[in-house]
Amino acid sequence: MEPIVWGKAPEEIIYEILVRLPVKSLLGCTAVCKSWSCMIKSPTFIHTHLINRVIESNHQNNDGVQLLLHNPEFELYSLYRDDDDPRASSSTLREYTDLDNPYEVYAERTRNHTWGSEFFGTCNGLVCLAGEDIDLTTLVWNPSIRKFVVLPKSGVTFCHGYGREARCAFGYDRRANDYKVLRRESCFQEGKFISCQYEIWSLAKGSWKTLNTGNDRRHHERDIEQRDFDAGHPPVFVNGALHWVQVNVNTGNISVGSFDMSDEVFGKIIIPPEAETQKCFDSDPHCVVSRYRESLAFFESSEERRESVGCGWLLHMTMWVMKEYGVAKSWDKLFAICLEGSICRLVGCRKSGDEVVLKLIVDNVQYRSVNSKTKQVKNLQIKGSCCCSVMDAFTESLVLLDQPNVFTY
């Protein structure tokens, strides 16, 4: 067989070869020639490459699958290989790469400093972060290509003297092939909730748009504050929509709030009828929604005083999965287990969703990995991270490579 002469190879052949390469190799290929650079940076190539990477990761049987972990205590973001031995009695995430914090790059370039940041989701290789500064500076970051875009300041204004609190959520509009940030800004006076406004930012448009929710009574339900850990649980992106736990301020009834990223409308999903958490009171269990594989999941935990166990507390944990999206009768119990501990938090899923990772307080912070099929519980060690609050599958992509107004480092 004669070797390929790249200068004479048909463009279609070059395209089919390049679109199968990993991100790091493609970044090097942009320097080969102008035509390759234009091809790789085109929106069509970026989208096709992403689809190939997603399909590839779904068929890797966990080999090479990466997990994004966030350690809020030290503002660290790391990528771990999810490749430990499934036959072992305990699990360890060993191989990892610490990522540069984009806020440090932003501060160095602009002299605008933040006091920390919060994680608000990851999708198709992008990560959404919001800074804890006076402007609540929000970034959409692609660590694989070392680029990020800084969102413009919010257009929401409140009267002087009112306290404010902003929360973001991040997802993908499949219909428009666009990435969006939903932002809710709440107004408080002397600690009492007054009102809130919603706005949405689009990567394609590069600007905020205020959402008119005045006639939509579904948005009058507020989010439940996380009671167990300092870091909040970000809304989860499933089936083209964002989801979070909410409570009706008048009835106390708990439900799952949703926001469709394409139609830009709010919705509501009924929680599992078997769940203990039907109304919001201080003594209610901790509950969150999560993504399990490609389905919506509902998780709750409650504490029971038990002097016979070592730390004196027993945790009851249950997780349901919605088999048919939007159909309340399709909630199916995935597992119900009891473990020693005083506080439990759902961190995320690994092994392509087969294992659910929990963060417990026993005598110190500990992690457990629950196999959803066998119900086996393992101790989980995370090398290099003593306090992980978020774990999510991460797919490398070229998204943002074609964007003009980005920071590169």
As given in the structure block, the two tokens for residue 206 are 């590069």
Kindly tell me if the per-residue pLDDT of 314 is higher than 90.
Answer: no
Burial 126-161 (b: 16+ CB within 10 A, else e): bbbbbbeeeebbbbbbbbbbbbbbbbeebebebeee
Report the alpha-carbon distance of residue 366 to residue 69 in Å, rounded: 15
Tokens 């920071």 belong to 407
Report d(CA 212, CA 295) in Å as an integer.
Answer: 29
Average pLDDT for residues 222-232, to the nearest whole number? 42
Residues 6 or more apart in contact with residue 330 via CB below 8 angstroms:
322, 323, 324
Q: Dihedrals φ, ψ of 369, to 5°? A: -115, 120
Six-digit token string for 233: 């649980």
* pTM for the full predicted model: 0.88
Percent of the chain's residues with pLDDT above 90: 46
Give kind and range of the element (H or E) at residue 360.
strand 355-361
The predicted pLDDT at position 27 comes to 97
Higher per-residue pLDDT: 7 or 44: 44
Give pLDDT tens digits for 261-302. Answer: 999 999 999 999 988 777 665 445 588 899 998 899 999 988
Give me the pLDDT at residue 4, please: 54
Nearest alpha-carbon partner for 395 in 142, 86, 174, 172: 142
Instruction: Name the β-bridge partners of 396.
Output: none
The edge-to-edge listing of strands for the beta sheet with 331-340 is: 286-292, 295-305, 313-322, 331-340
Beta strands 90-93 and 377-382 are parallel
Structure token pair of residue 212: 């008119």
For residue 159, pLDDT over 80 is answered with no
pLDDT digit string, tens, across residues 193-209: 777 789 999 999 999 99
Cβ neighbors of 66 (< 8 A, separation 6 or more) are 79, 80, 81, 82, 393, 394, 395, 396
Tell me if 69 sits within 8 A of 385, measured CB to CB: yes
Q: Which of 2-11, 73-82, 172-181, 255-264 has the lowest mean pLDDT?
A: 2-11
At 101-157, the pLDDT tens digits run 999 999 999 988 887 888 999 999 999 998 888 778 999 999 999 999 999 988 777
Edge-to-edge strands, sheet with 192-202: 163-173, 178-189, 192-202, 207-210
- Share the mean pLDDT of the chain: 84
